[in-house]
Amino acid sequence: MTKGIKRRDLLAGTAATLAMPALAQSKPDKLVYVGDNGPWHWVMVEEVGPAFEKATGIKIDFTLLPVDPWNARLKAELNSGSSGIDIVQWSVGMAGWLSPHFDDHEEYVAKIMARDPAWEWNDFLVGSKKAATYEGKLIGVPYRITTGIMHYQKYLMDAAGIAKLPETFEELQKAAIALNKPPERYGFGISGRQGPAILSSFYPWLYSAGGGMVDFKTGEILINSPASISGLEFWVDLITKYKVVPPEALTWEYEEIVAGGQSDRYAMVQTFAPYGTLINDPKISKSGGKWTWSTVPGKTEKSQSRTWVDGHSLGIPKYTKNKEWSLEFIRLCCDKKWMRRSMERGNAPPRGSVLRDPEMIEKIGWPEVAAKAIETGIPTPAQPVFPTLALSLRAGLSQAVLGQKTAKQALDDVATDWQRGLRRGGIIK
């Protein structure tokens, strides 16, 4: 429970603060929300949704799906112009193909501010607004802005005589070997299943090694450059050569990487910053209270540290008949009080006032580190062709971690496939 802000206080205050658009629009029985099933929706689903229903009588019908079915559901309904979805949760990489289905949300933000000046649009981080924008058009209101950071069980490092947190790939490798105590606990955790989570598990090692993916302006493919290959080699060696990764981690995605930390299956991991809240909570985690955080190591020096930046926004599709009510739900979700509450239960809110709250930094630990990582982080590509390229990359990474191909073979094959994809997408001739 947030100090000074109890859940019942939030619920009680909701009805008083909700701006009712009933005169502008008839009231539906429910609003359909479609999003992913990541383990950070709990406040929205278990607290904000019921609060909204209590205040308005409108139920929020949450449809939370794994990433691929989530994308498929949105494409099927939005491309057909269906009015069956009222609120779309979308991530940065989806912005390119989603943009035609949304009006400019600057108009919606202006409506919120007219009703509720204390909502403060200026409190949202500039980076989060950029993440919610595609080719100059704001297509959603940021709800979550996150990045990948290192999570360490510091007491294990102290016991192993590791005096400082790793700053280079070599130091991280040595620490993973020193902390590897199979079968009870392994040195390092990954999301190794051939799904979307494998990308965020790999990206920091790609970028911190000086590698890249593709320059969409020129069509230059970077994924199989020597630097990119070296990043994959480092990551794969932790699995196949040094065997410091739990064997079951090759089946892990988002929920499993959290569960692995909570069950003390690894000593270190690079994953979403806000997952630190979930794995460090003694009430739900075997390893709770033992974690500390830092930005990822660089290849040969800390200054080379680079990671990924992503996030989720809440948007209103053109086709819904319930735009006013959908906007009210988004306004409530992104209210300062509810965003502060959501960070306690695993979200990474985009409001500067929430992330910089000294009490929250002291209580949760990771916000300050996440802010540093975001400064040099590389956003997920939003070019419409990238989801197709990502499928090929996921397959290549999976072949590498399973030992079916070397890092070079895997990324060379990905690059060949990307040439075809970029040609079909009109990026190269």
Stretch 147-157: mean pLDDT, rounded? 97
Report the chain's mean pLDDT, rounded to a whole number. 92
Show Cβ contacts of residue 87 under 8 Å, excluding neighbours closer than 6 positions. 31, 32, 33, 34, 314, 315, 316, 326, 329, 330
pLDDT tens per residue, range 168-193: 999 999 999 999 999 999 999 999 99
Does an H or E element contain 188, and which? strand 186-189
Dist CA 317 CA 81 (whole Å): 9
pLDDT for res 21: 54
The pLDDT-based confidence of 205 (bands split at 50, 70, 90) is: very high
Q: Report which listed range, 242-251, 269-278, 380-389, is most confident.
A: 242-251
Length of the chain: 429
pLDDT for res 355: 85
Instruction: Please report the domains of the chain, with CATH numbers, ordered by start residue.
Output: 7-146+310-378 (3.40.190.10), 147-308+381-424 (3.40.190.10)
CA of 348: how far to CAs of 56, 86, 119, 148, in Å? 27, 23, 18, 12
Dist CA 400 CA 407 (whole Å): 6
pLDDT for res 343: 86
Ranges of beta strands (E only) in 57-166 are 59-65, 87-91, 133-134, 137-138, 141-153
The pLDDT-based confidence of 90 (bands split at 50, 70, 90) is: very high
For 2, counting Cβ atoms within 10 Å of its Cβ (0-12 exposed, 13-18 middle, 19+ buried), the class is middle
pTM of the model: 0.77
Reading the block at residue 334, the tokens are 């992104």
The pLDDT-based confidence of 8 (bands split at 50, 70, 90) is: low
Farthest CA pair distance, the chain? 67
CA of 353: how far to CAs of 116, 122, 124, 346, in Å? 17, 10, 8, 17
Dist CA 118 CA 124 (whole Å): 13
More confident residue, 13 or 144: 144
User: Which candidate, 109, 108, 67, places its Cα nearest to that of 89?
Assistant: 67
Q: Report which listed range, 14-18, 211-215, 383-387, is most confident.
A: 211-215
pLDDT at 309 over 90: no
pLDDT tens per residue, range 66-86: 988 999 999 999 999 999 999
pLDDT tens per residue, range 20-57: 554 456 899 999 999 999 878 999 999 999 999 999 99
